[in-house]
DNA sequence: TCCCTGATGTCAGCGACTGTCATCAGAGTA
DNA sequence: TACTCTGATGACAGTCGCTGACATCAGGGA
């Protein structure tokens, strides 16, 4: 028989989502999350660098998902088209986890530290996307990536808040149009 | 005779800039900063909400500086022109404090928590700018503000890293051109 | 059979931050 | 002159986030 229940990391994530959701991030201690997961505080901090990270642990992969999508776009595709391919990949995985993502959003928007961390994650996405765009020879790749991620965030926000979800790609095209109007 | 030296807040900011610069943010305790300023740790946390905020205390005003610049732009100005007016106001105050800003940049870029906080401040700038743009009837004001702030950051970065500073407005126009190429 | 490894527990300790109460110079007021 | 009020500070105790060091022990491989 196994000495411990398997999947401790996942149990910590579930426990955090529950407790942060019930009482708010600031009112829950790391030790409480660990206890609900049947683990100790020390083990919590072995899995996650800090109390916030338990809500963000899987986001690094998403940055690579976008970047890989851009790399997978046909060579003749314009940068904008390549970006849309990148976000399409993201969109699929988001659909399956919509409920969990929504609960997570509600927790994050209630707390300034978590909003800060979310911004940092988006910045990492931006860096990964910029790198993929630079490989395609896009000029001012960092800035272009910022615009793309900002548009993607807007589209995601509209998608998750809507009862009847708007297709992500459509929202992004609208966003790009607004940006075009601004810089023209 | 005054019971305490005046200007405790400023002394804390100076002490923090010195100590964080000498040994790095993570290696300095709040109590040490306070001691160098001739105050106690408790007083440090009365002036600043946390150990990071001592480097960011004056940034809120800057957000309003940009937004006010946009509001001051002539009614017939395009959104892009209005944004350029907003940043011009910022540019002037930055020139005078270039040395201090550079020391601050060096500290922030060395530490992940400080970079996070900086992103949060930029997000606040974005919100203030979006509000001013919305008053002008700009569509998708939040997204447009994101693009504008991203461009401004890029321009600022280029300005502060260059030995012979590039004019901010020029760098911004270049940025807008790159964005235009992307979304067209 | 034995050792090694990896995930966990235990414990001690530092530093960030907060609540609470005390202090006291200077400004305002009688 | 005396009296009070206020605001910035100090003192102190306490909680919580996070870390280092060491112990434990099931399962896998030599």
Residue of least CA–C1' distance to C9 = A40
CA of A135 to nearest chain B CA: how many angstroms apart? Answer: 15
Q: Are A81 and A73 in contact (CB under 8 A)?
A: yes
Residue A165 in this model has a pLDDT that exceeds 80? no
pLDDT in tens, A76-125: 999 999 999 999 888 888 888 889 999 999 999 999 999 999 999 999 99
Mean pLDDT (whole number) for B21-48: 97
Residue A1 in this model has a pLDDT that exceeds 70? no
Containing structural domain, residue B94: 58-183
pLDDT confidence tier of residue A5, bands split at 50, 70 and 90: confident
Residue B163 in this model has a pLDDT that exceeds 80? no
Residue B5 in this model has a pLDDT that exceeds 80? no
Asked whether residue B16 falls in the same domain as residue B40, the answer is yes
Range of A77-86, A163-172, B4-13 with top mean pLDDT: A77-86
pLDDT, averaged across chain B? 93
pLDDT at A6: 75
CB contact (8 A) between residue A147 and residue B182:
yes
Asked whether residue A70 falls in the same domain as residue A158, the answer is yes
CATH code, B121: 1.10.357.10
Asked whether residue B104 falls in the same domain as residue B173, the answer is yes
Mean pLDDT (whole number) for B151-176: 89
Residue of B121, B95, B99, B103 whose CA lies nearest to B22: B103
Asked whether residue B104 falls in the same domain as residue B170, the answer is yes
Strand D and chain B: which residues 76-115 have CB closer than 7 Å?
Answer: none
Asked whether residue B70 falls in the same domain as residue B50, the answer is no
Residue of least CA–C1' distance to C23 = B3
**B35 near A CB under 8 A:** no
d(CA A5, CA A97): 24
Q: What six digits make up the tokens of B23? A: 């040994």
CA of A1 to nearest chain B CA: how many angstroms apart? Answer: 42
pLDDT at B96: 84
Asked whether residue A108 falls in the same domain as residue A173, the answer is yes
Residue B2 in this model has a pLDDT that exceeds 70? no
Q: What nucleotides of chain C have any atom within 7 angstroms of a protein Cβ?
A: 6-12, 15-20, 24-26
Q: Which residues of the protein have their beta carbon within 7 Å of strand C?
A: A 3-4, 8-9, 34, 38-40, 42-43, 46-47; B 1-3, 28-31, 41-42, 45, 49-52
**A137 near B CB under 8 A:** no
In a domain, A121, yes or no: yes
CA of B151 to nearest chain A CA: how many angstroms apart? Answer: 7
Residue A3 in this model has a pLDDT that exceeds 80? no
Greater confidence, A92 or B106? Answer: B106
Distance B148 CA to C15 C1' (A): 39
Q: How many domains does the structure of chain A reveal?
A: 2
Distance A40 CA to C9 C1' (A): 7
Asked whether residue B23 falls in the same domain as residue B105, the answer is no
A113 touches strand D (CB under 7 A): no
Residue B1 in this model has a pLDDT that exceeds 60? no
pLDDT, averaged across chain A? 93
pLDDT confidence tier of residue A58, bands split at 50, 70 and 90: confident
């Amino acid at each position: 028989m196994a000495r411990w229940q398997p999947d401790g990391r996942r149990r910590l994530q579930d426990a955090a989502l529950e407790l942060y959701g019930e009482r708010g991030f600031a009112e829950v201690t790391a030790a409480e999350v660990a206890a609900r997961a049947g683990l100790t505080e020390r083990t919590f901090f072995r899995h996650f660098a800090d109390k916030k990270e338990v809500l963000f642990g899987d986001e690094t992969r998403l940055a690579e998902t976008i970047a890989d999508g851009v790399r997978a776009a046909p060579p003749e595709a314009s940068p904008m088209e390549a970006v849309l391919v990148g976000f399409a990949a993201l969109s699929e995985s988001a659909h399956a986890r919509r409920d969990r993502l929504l609960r997570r959003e509600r927790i994050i928007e209630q707390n300034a530290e978590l909003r800060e961390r979310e911004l940092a994650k988006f910045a990492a996405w931006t860096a990964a996307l910029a790198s993929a765009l630079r490989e395609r020879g896009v000029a001012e790749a960092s800035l272009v990536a910022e615009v793309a991620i900002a548009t993607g965030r807007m589209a995601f926000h509209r998608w998750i808040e809507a009862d009847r979800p708007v297709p992500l790609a459509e929202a992004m095209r609208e966003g790009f149009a607004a940006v075009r109007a601004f810089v023209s």
